[in-house]
C-alpha cells in the first residue's frame, strides 16, 4: 500500500531460510527412505546459496549430489509472481537466485516483515479515538429528554391543526411561540451533547459533566414537567373554547377585530360574545423567553412553577361567570334566530376590565355597550284566574337583564296547534289574555322584550282550559211569605259541544254581625228553565 509505506518499515532483504518471507521453495521427495530423504534435503538446501549456474543454464555440482537431486521434485509457494513454476531441483535453485531481482531495484516489491502501529490521531486529529463507555442511566436520560421534545412538538402540531386554534389566532400564536422556543432549547441541548459526549468518551473527561447538563435542564423552565403542564393547559383551553362555541347556535365566529367591525356594519344590531383573556400575558412563556436570552433580571434559575394558576379559566368564579354569560347569549341568539336585523358573533379580543368574557352590543357598526346583558326568561309565569274567554297570568321579572326590558310578550295558542298569537304587556305582574274560546285548552308562554330583541320564553306548565260557558245573567229575587223566587238569564256564551243542562243555586241565611265569608251556604240544582 502506498499509504502504509509512510507509516511502517519494510524488510527489503530477501530471506535465506524457509521461515523468512523471501523463502520461495519447499521441496518434497518421493524417496522411500524417510530418514535419508530428510538428511539429503537438509544438506542440499544448505548448499543452495553456493551453487553456480553455468553458461548453458546447467547446475554445477558433484556427481554424487546430482544423483540425489535428480530424484527431487519441487513446487513453489511464495509471495512472488514468477514466470515459470519450478519442478526440478535445478529450477528451484534458479528461482531462488532470481528472487532478489523480483524485489525491485529499490525494494518496492518487498513484503513487510515487521510493522509499527501508530494511533490515527497522530496523523489526523479528527480520526476516531479509543472510547470509554458512559453509564446507561445518563444515556437513557439524555435520550428521554430528546424524545420528550419530539412528543411535545407533535402535541403542538396537533393543537395548531384544531378548528378552535384556527378560529382564535390568539391561541395559535401562543402555541407557535412555545413550539419555537422549545425547538431552540432542544437544538442547543443537542449541540451541548455533541460537544460533551466525545470529550467524555475519547478525551477522558468525567461523565459528571453530562450529569450536570441534565441537572441544569431539569432545574430550568424547560423541564418536561412544566412544558407538558403548559401544553395540558392549552389543550384544556381549546376544549373549553370548543364547548362554549358549540353551545352558541346561530352564531358566526370572526377571527379578528377587523372582522367584527365588518360584520357589525352590515346589520342594525350586532351582539358579540367576546373571549377577553385569550391574549393575557403568561409569566411562564416570559420565563422561557428570558431563559433563552439569559437576561440578568431573569437568571437561569428564575421561573414560575405554577403554570395552571396563570390560566384565565383557573378561577372558579371566572369560569362560572363565563358559563352564565354564554347561556344568556346562546338563549338570546336562539330566541332571535328569525330576526334578520340582528347578527350574533363570537371573537377573541383583549379587555382587561372584563376577565374571561363579555357581551358587546353594536348598533349600525358603533359600540353601544361592552357589558350588555341579554334578558333571561321570566322567573315564573303562573295562571292566576280563568274565565270562559280569558286567562290571567302572573309574571315575575327575569333574574338577569331586567334593566333593559321595555315590555313583555305573552304568547298563546290552542293546545296541539302551532299558530302562536301574541299580546304585549307593558310590565310584569298580572297580564290578562282575552278573546279566548270557552271550554278550550291553551298553551301560554311569556318572554321579555328589549330594544334589541326578545329574550327566551318561560312556558306555563301544561295546558290551561277555559271555562265551558259564560256566567248566567244576574239573579232576580222575588221574596214571598214562605219562599223566595229566583230567576236568571241563560249563559250568553257556550263552548263548542257544551249544553247547559242544569244550574246550581246557592243560598245562605244571614245573621246580624256575621260576615259573608263566614256564612253557611247551601245549594240546590234546578233544570235550565227560567226561574
pLDDT of residue 106: 75
Is pTM beyond 0.85? Reply is no
CB 486 within 8 A of CB 474: no
pLDDT of residue 161: 95
- Which range has highest mean pLDDT (23-27, 184-188, 487-491)? 184-188
| 56 DSSP 8-state letter | T
- Write the CB contacts of 185 (distance below 8 Å, at least 6 apart in sequence): 149, 222, 288, 291, 292
Query: Using CA atoms, how far apart are residues 60 and 51, in angstroms rounded to an integer?
Result: 7
| 51 DSSP 8-state letter | -
269 vs 209, residue with greater confidence: 269
Query: Using CA atoms, how far apart are residues 201 and 131, in angstroms rounded to an integer?
Result: 5
Query: Using CA atoms, how far apart are residues 381 and 461, in angstroms rounded to an integer?
Result: 9
- Residue 457 Cα distances to 156, 343, 360, 367, 448, angstroms: 44, 20, 22, 27, 8
3 state DSSP class of 275: strand
- Write the CB contacts of 34 (distance below 8 Å, at least 6 apart in sequence): none
Q: What is the pLDDT of residues 288-302, one digit of tens each?
A: 999 998 765 545 444
pLDDT of residue 125: 64
Query: Using CA atoms, how far apart are residues 472 and 488, in angstroms rounded to an integer?
Result: 7
pLDDT at 8 > cutoff 70:
no
Buried b (16+ CB within 10 A) or exposed e, 454-464: bbbbbebeeeb
Which residue is listed with cell 412555545? 178
Q: What is the pLDDT of residues 213-264, one digit of tens each?
A: 888 888 899 999 999 999 999 999 999 999 999 999 889 999 988 899 999 9
476 vs 3, residue with greater confidence: 476
pLDDT of residue 313: 82
Exposure on the CB side of residue 517, measured as CA atoms within 13 A: 0
- Write the CB contacts of 166 (distance below 8 Å, at least 6 apart in sequence): 172
Specify which residues 393 forms β-bridges with: 383, 431
* Residue extents of the structural domains in the chain: 4-102, 136-369, 381-465, 476-527
pLDDT at 27 > cutoff 70:
no
Phi, psi of 256, deg, nearest 5: -150, 170
Query: Using CA atoms, how far apart are residues 330 and 428, in angstroms rounded to an integer?
Result: 24
**Which strand (E) or helix (H) includes residue 523?**
strand 521-527
All cell numbers assigned to 164: 378552535
| 57 DSSP 8-state letter | S
Query: Using CA atoms, how far apart are residues 333 and 224, in angstroms rounded to an integer?
Result: 44
Which residue is listed with cell 518434497? 28
| 531 DSSP 8-state letter | -
Specify which residues 484 forms β-bridges with: 479
The CATH code of domain 381-465 reads 2.60.40.10
All cell numbers assigned to 428: 310584569
Q: What is the pLDDT of residues 92-144, one digit of tens each?
A: 777 777 777 777 777 777 766 677 777 766 776 665 555 556 677 877 888 89
* C-alpha closest to that of 88 among 70, 110, 109, 111: 70
What is the distance of C-alpha 440 from the center of its chain?
58
pLDDT of residue 252: 94
Amino acid at each position: 500500500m502506498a499509504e502504509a509505506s509512510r507509516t511502517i518499515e519494510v524488510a527489503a532483504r530477501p530471506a535465506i531460510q524457509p521461515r523468512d518471507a523471501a523463502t520461495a521453495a519447499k521441496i518434497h521427495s518421493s524417496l522411500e527412505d524417510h530418514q535419508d530423504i530428510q538428511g539429503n534435503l537438509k544438506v542440499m538446501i544448505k548448499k543452495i546459496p553456493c551453487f553456480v549456474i553455468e553458461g548453458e543454464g546447467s547446475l554445477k555440482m558433484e556427481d554424487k549430489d546430482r544423483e540425489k537431486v535428480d530424484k527431487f521434485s519441487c513446487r513453489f509457494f511464495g509471495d512472488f509472481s514468477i514466470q515459470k513454476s519450478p519442478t526440478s531441483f535445478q529450477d528451484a535453485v534458479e528461482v531462488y537466485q532470481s528472487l532478489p531481482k523480483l524485489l525491485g531495484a529499490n525494494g518496492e516489491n518487498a513484503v513487510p516483515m515487521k510493522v509499527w502501529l501508530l494511533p490515527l490521531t497522530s496523523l489526523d486529529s479528527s480520526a476516531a479515538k479509543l472510547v470509554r463507555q458512559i453509564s446507561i442511566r445518563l444515556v437513557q436520560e439524555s435520550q428521554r429528554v430528546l424524545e420528550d421534545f419530539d412528543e411535545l412538538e407533535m402535541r403542538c402540531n396537533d393543537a395548531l391543526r384544531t378548528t378552535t386554534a384556527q378560529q382564535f389566532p390568539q391561541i395559535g400564536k401562543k402555541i407557535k411561540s412555545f413550539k419555537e422556543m422549545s425547538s431552540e432549547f432542544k437544538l442547543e441541548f443537542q449541540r451541548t451533547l455533541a460537544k460533551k459526549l466525545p470529550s467524555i468518551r475519547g478525551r477522558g473527561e468525567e461523565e459528571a459533566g453530562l450529569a450536570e447538563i441534565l441537572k441544569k435542564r431539569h432545574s430550568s423552565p424547560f423541564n418536561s414537567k412544566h412544558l407538558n403542564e403548559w401544553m395540558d393547559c392549552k389543550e384544556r383551553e381549546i376544549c373549553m373554547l370548543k364547548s362554549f362555541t358549540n353551545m352558541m347556535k346561530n352564531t358566526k365566529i370572526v377571527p379578528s377585530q377587523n372582522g367584527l367591525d365588518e360584520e357589525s356594519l352590515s346589520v342594525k344590531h350586532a351582539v358579540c360574545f367576546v373571549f377577553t383573556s385569550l391574549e393575557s400575558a403568561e409569566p411562564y412563556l416570559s420565563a422561557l423567553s428570558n431563559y433563552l436570552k439569559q437576561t440578568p433580571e431573569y437568571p437561569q434559575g428564575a421561573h414560575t412553577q405554577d403554570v395552571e394558576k396563570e390560566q384565565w379559566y383557573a378561577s372558579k368564579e371566572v369560569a362560572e361567570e363565563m358559563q352564565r354569560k354564554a347561556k344568556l347569549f346562546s338563549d338570546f341568539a336562539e330566541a332571535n334566530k328569525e330576526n334578520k336585523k340582528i347578527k350574533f358573533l363570537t371573537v377573541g379580543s383583549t379587555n382587561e376590565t372584563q376577565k374571561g368574557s363579555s357581551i358587546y352590543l353594536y348598533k349600525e357598526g358603533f359600540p353601544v355597550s361592552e357589558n350588555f346583558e341579554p334578558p333571561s326568561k321570566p322567573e315564573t309565569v303562573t295562571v292566576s284566574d280563568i274565565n270562559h274567554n280569558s286567562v290571567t297570568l302572573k309574571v315575575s321579572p327575569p333574574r338577569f337583564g331586567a334593566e333593559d326590558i321595555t315590555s313583555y310578550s305573552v304568547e298563546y295558542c290552542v293546545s296541539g296547534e302551532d299558530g302562536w298569537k301574541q299580546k304585549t304587556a307593558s310590565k310584569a305582574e298580572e297580564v290578562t289574555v282575552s278573546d279566548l274560546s270557552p271550554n278550550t285548552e291553551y298553551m301560554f308562554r311569556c318572554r321579555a322584550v328589549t330594544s334589541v330583541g326578545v329574550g327566551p320564553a318561560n312556558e306555563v306548565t301544561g295546558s290551561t282550559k277555559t271555562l265551558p260557558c259564560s256566567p248566567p245573567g244576574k239573579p232576580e229575587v222575588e221574596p214571598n211569605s214562605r219562599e223566595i223566587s229566583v230567576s236568571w238569564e241563560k249563559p250568553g256564551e257556550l263552548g263548542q259541544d257544551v249544553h247547559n243542562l242544569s244550574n246550581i243555586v246557592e243560598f245562605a241565611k244571614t245573621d246580624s254581625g256575621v260576615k259573608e265569608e263566614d256564612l253557611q251556604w247551601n245549594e240546590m240544582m234546578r233544570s235550565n228553565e227560567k226561574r
